Amino acid sequence: MKVKVGSLFLLSLCAVIAYLTYNTYGNWSFAFALRGRRLLAFGLVAIASSFSTFTLQTMTQNRYLTPGILGLDQLYVLIQTVSFFFVGGIQLLSQETTTMFLLSILATALLGSLLIGFFYQNKGHHLFLLLMAGMICGTMFSSYSTFLQVLMDPNEYDMLQGRLFASFNHIHTQHLLWAAGIILLGSLCLVFLIPELNVLHLGSRQSVSLGIPVPFVHRLLLFLIALLTGTASALVGPTVFLGFVVVTITYQVIPTFRHGWLFLGGTLIAFLLLVFGQFFVEQVFGWTITVNTVIQFLGGLFFISKLILERKKG
Amino acid sequence: MKRISVFLLFCILMITSLFVGTHELSIAGLLAGVPEAWMVLVKIRLPRTISLVIAGSIVSLCGKVMQHLLQNKFVAAEAVGLSDSARLGILMVMLFLPNGSVLLRTAVAALFAYLGVLLFLSISRLLPKDNPMMLPLAGVMFGNIIGAVSGFLAYRYQLVQNVSSWLQGNFATITVGQYEWLYLVIPVFFLLYFVTYEITIAGLGEDVARSLGINYGFLRMFVLGLVAFASSIVLLMVGQLPFLGIVVPNMIGIFFGDHLKNNLWLTCFAGSSFLLICDLLARTVIAPYEMPVSVIAGMIGGSLFLGLLFWRQIR
């Protein structure tokens, strides 16, 4: 396992160097600044998506889930829209935007974990309900956002748009440091919770008998998942299936239940995927496709093939 | 009694829809025979109301039928990759036959939608049977694959804005000469009515249906073909109408039971009423401008659906 993770680490190091130095046309410092920031954002997104997906899958004991399906990114968009709508964009822009950023991420995490917490109760398996509610919330939140955006003053809408539509091509780097802080803090909390996660892997009944305060831990984990996912989508927009793809690959590469290794390997694999994807988009396809499309396509294919493979096994 | 009230609500909403809009239209004006008033009524309001009624009823009916066939309360045309496949078909027509007629577009979209649903069904046989959430989840994933393909094509040929703008459900553009293709779905109502008993029995599961003498395979192909055809026409003429196919049939199911034949017309009327309410709101909220009806439908439908889930949870 150490060998595998070590070679993953080496691979990502190579990818970083290749990405930073290929086709810079001599203008190295410019390319470095531009691509370095992007790499930093990739690293953060890799951490956030792999940590949150492993945690969600472990606590729900379902290998098909991904936090992106819970509608958290749409919730973030809605919160931004609502704050623009009721406070007014000009006033908001004149204020300190960092506090706004932090507040909306916090609001996303709180509201998201409240919503998820309501639908995910420990009596019986309400996972189905949780998923349905998440998917509905996604569509509903985006409808509400569109509603308010249509009502909005066009000038304010322009500003809002500039703020909202983050993607891998258009990473929001202005709050990179704060986002880095939040993601590192959240993932650090998860690192401290690794022993609990390892036990939760056995199922909530066993965990209770092994002395884990399951309801409390579940709520804490949900909050952390919402926090990580919200921050990641504030940086690069929705990445619905990234977590799913990464986790599926990681379980293939390092078949273990120890979350320390899983977190480490998953982050490296996510990072590798993102850097390679971006490299291909930039250098091979010449910006004719987006990383999101690639992830979406791959994620769907992975999902279906996983279904078929599991079926054959069982 | 409840049934009559649904019908009454439907009638009231239909008449209201005729008289609400930017241009003032009064009964007195119509009675006095003002030509302008009649023109507004015949050329704008009547087509709009008719298309609302048709679209609302066919979408909710298709949702109901799909829920019976797939034995899952939470599927509708949008949740099994049908709309995504239809969209891919329309994109193909835009790319390769840009001058194709509406009929051609509809035919290609319906063909793609049908193929997409069949493909999804063959995948869905692999799903673990004990878990009801896997079907909608797999549907979303399947829709995503198809969506990624059309997303790639649209991005490549700069059609993203074009595609997303006409996918927004909107009745504002409907006038005489723009909506008549919707009449093509009317035979679908009767064809579906014809096989309601069979669909109800099919809702009990494939084995039961077979043992009761239903040609299950044929029935499924037939019904899904109809659903694909009707949904593609609505998608082309109007756009996407989120939640309509899930919320209305579930509400009807809660209040009136799941017997398809008894509730077929009720489902249709309720679907139309829901869409009429949404469109009335879309017309009045920011009058004299209009809101896309899909936005209102997403808001109201989503809230209702969530309320439904909450209610069940609390009980």
| Chain A environment of B160 (Cβ under 8 Å) | none
ipTM of the complex: 0.75
Torsion angle defined by CA atoms of residues B201, B204, B205 and B207, in that order, rounded to the nearest 10 degrees: -70
In chain B, how long is the greatest CA-to-CA distance? 66
Sorted by where each begins, the domain ranges of chain B are: 2-314
| CB pair distance less than 8 Å for A140 and B298 | yes
Would you list which residues of chain B are within 8 Å, Cβ to Cβ, of chain A? 74, 123, 126-128, 131-134, 136-138, 140-142, 144-145, 147-149, 151-152, 155-156, 242-243, 285-286, 291-292, 294-299, 301-303, 305-306, 309-310, 313
- At B257 the pLDDT is 78
The highest-level CATH class for domain A2-313 is mainly alpha
Q: Which amino acid is at B51?
A: S
Give DSSP secondary structure letters for B287-312: TTS---HHHHHHHHHHHHHHHHHHHH
Q: What is the pLDDT along chain A (314 residues), one digit of tens a residue?
A: 788 888 888 888 888 888 877 776 767 777 777 788 888 888 999 999 999 999 988 887 877 778 877 788 788 888 888 887 777 666 666 555 677 778 888 888 888 888 877 776 655 556 667 777 787 888 888 888 878 877 777 777 777 776 666 667 677 667 788 888 999 999 999 999 998 888 888 887 888 888 888 888 888 888 899 889 888 888 887 777 788 888 988 888 888 888 888 999 999 999 998 888 888 887 777 777 777 777 878 878 887 787 777 777 65
Residue A157 near chain B (CB below 8 Å) = no
| Model pLDDT for residues A20-29, shown as the tens digit of each residue | 777 767 677 7
A253 half-sphere exposure, CB direction, 13 A CA radius: 24
3-class secondary-structure state, position B240: strand
- At A94 the pLDDT is 56
* B89–chain A nearest CA distance, Å: 18
B14 half-sphere exposure, CB direction, 13 A CA radius: 19
| Token pair for B218 | 């044929």
Interface mutation vs chain B, best among A77, A139, A168, A288, most B CBs within 10 Å: A139
**Regions of chain B short of the pLDDT cut 50:** none
Sorted by where each begins, the domain ranges of chain A are: 2-313
- At A186 the pLDDT is 92
Residues linked to residue B168 through DSSP beta bridges, in sequence order: B240
Alpha carbons A14 and A218: distance in angstroms, whole number: 38
| Chain A environment of B303 (Cβ under 8 Å) | 140
- By residue count, chain A amounts to 314
- Closest A-chain CA to B242: A139
**CATH architecture of the domain with residue range B2-314:** Orthogonal Bundle (1.10)
- At A50 the pLDDT is 92
Interface mutation vs chain A, best among B83, B141, B144, B299, most A CBs within 10 Å: B141
| Model pLDDT for residues A81-131, shown as the tens digit of each residue | 888 777 766 666 655 567 777 888 888 888 888 887 777 665 555 666 777
Sequence-ordered list of residues with C-beta below 8 angstroms from that of A104, at least 6 positions apart, any chain: A76, A79, A80, A83, A234
Select the residue of B140, B155, B295 nearest A143 (Cβ to Cβ). Answer: B295
Full-model pTM: 0.82
Residue A164 near chain B (CB below 8 Å) = no
| CB pair distance less than 8 Å for A296 and B140 | no
Residue A148 near chain B (CB below 8 Å) = no
- At B276 the pLDDT is 92
Per-residue b/e over B217-227, b at no fewer than 16 CB within 10 Å?
Answer: eebbebbbbbb
| CB pair distance less than 8 Å for B155 and A308 | no
| Chain B environment of A136 (Cβ under 8 Å) | 243, 302, 305-306, 309
Interface mutation vs chain B, best among A111, A132, A311, A312, most B CBs within 10 Å: A132
| CB pair distance less than 8 Å for A139 and B149 | no
B283 half-sphere exposure, CB direction, 13 A CA radius: 22
Alpha carbons B167 and B170: distance in angstroms, whole number: 8
- At B133 the pLDDT is 67
Q: B168 φ, ψ to 5°?
A: -65, 120
CB A149 within 8 A of CB A157: yes
